[in-house]
Amino acid sequence: MPRILQFLQLNSTNAYAKTHAKELEDGAVICAEEQTAGRGRFNRKWVSAQGGLYFSVLLKPNNTQHLPNLTQLMALCICQTVRELGAPAQLKWPNDVLVNNQKLSGILSEVVLEQNRFYALVIGVGINIRQADLSQVGQPAVSLEALNIHIRQQDMLARLLERFNARLPKALAEGFASFGEEYKALFPYIGRTVCITAGGGKTAGTVRDISSAGTLLLHTQQGLQEFSIGDMNA
Ligand code: BTN
């Protein structure tokens, strides 16, 4: 089991993992009690005060065919772990975890390149555990504590890593297909009208399905469109 590097404070666990990718082993986990420059998707800031769980997993897989699906696997593992703890968590494509339509967790995955070639994947996870104040988050958010679930950050991390590492080999080999049915069972948006922001544009439509590759299939006025990346708003 790779080591967990635990810090009191970092600018960003993703930034640390990327900077030190060379000397870190495959599967290394970087965790910080707080981040001074936590990063979210689409260049957003991730408010990272004490009380949250902030960590990054560094992966150096030989098979890079299914990389985006590893982030989806992490989201599924978070969702399942939270449900096991008693909260009705659901997935918002591609990798947010919500409880009662409030954000509990987000993931930012980043690639490390060497000489323009893939070297490593960093999966950065933020989970609201017991922060005193989530009003700065910029969207409806909730913590486990507010849901009456009392768990220490390290116990949450241990549960999560056990689940993720157990599923990882199959996901690396088979991609979304290895967990797609479980993902879709926790994804409540099929048949609902949503708006996808991707590539600088917005597309409204009805969610038809998540494909066997983990992409979102949206029925729009222009026909069926497929999204492999984006932000979904319902
Ligand atoms: C999102 O926008 O929903 C993704 C948020 C990801 C935040 C995590 S916290 C640990 C890791 N380090 C970062 O700077 N960001 C990710």
Return the pLDDT at 110: 97
Characterise 119 by phi-psi region: left (phi > 0), alpha (psi -120 to 50), beta (else): alpha
Atom nearest to 38 CA in ligand 1: 14
**Spatial separation of the C-alpha atoms in residues 69 and 60, rounded to whole Å:** 15
Tell the burial category of 180 from Cβ atoms under 10 Å away from its Cβ (0-12, 13-18, 19+): buried
Global pTM value: 0.96
Report the half-sphere exposure of 133 (CA within 13 A, side-chain side).
3
- The pLDDT value recorded for residue 139 is 84
Give the chain's mean pLDDT: 95
Least confident of 1-10, 81-90, 121-130: 1-10
What is the 38 CA–ligand 1 centroid distance (Å)?
6
How far apart (Å, rounded) are the C-alpha atoms in residues 19 and 218? 37
Output the CA 116–ligand 1 centroid distance in Å: 24
Residue 2 has pLDDT above 80, yes or no: no
Q: Give the pocket of ligand 1 (CB within 6 Å).
A: 12-14, 35, 38-41, 44, 46, 54-56, 96, 106-108, 124-126
Give, for ligand 1, the residue of 4, 6, 7, 14 to mutate: max count of ligand atoms closer than 8 Å to Cβ: 14
Which residue has the least CA distance to atom 7 on ligand 1? 126
Condensed to tens digits (0 to 9), the pLDDT of residues 153-162 reads: 999 999 999 9
Instruction: Name the closest-CA residue to atom 15, ligand 1.
Output: 39
Contacts 24+ apart (CB under 8 A), 92-100: 92/187, 92/189, 92/232, 92/234, 93/187, 93/189, 93/210, 93/216, 93/232, 94/68, 94/214, 94/216, 94/229, 94/230, 94/232, 95/71, 97/127, 99/142, 99/147, 100/142
Contacts of 46 (CB under 8 A, 6+ apart): 35, 38, 39, 40, 54, 106, 108, 126
For a substitution probing ligand 1, which of 125, 129, 157, 233 has the most ligand atoms within 8 Å of its CB? 125
Task: Render pLDDT for 95-130 as a digit per residue (tens, 0 to 9).
Answer: 999 999 999 999 999 999 999 999 999 999 999 999
Q: Ligand 1 center to residue 46 CA distance, Å? A: 6
With a cut of 90, say whether residue 196 has pLDDT above it.
yes
pLDDT band per the 50, 70, 90 thresholds, residue 137: confident
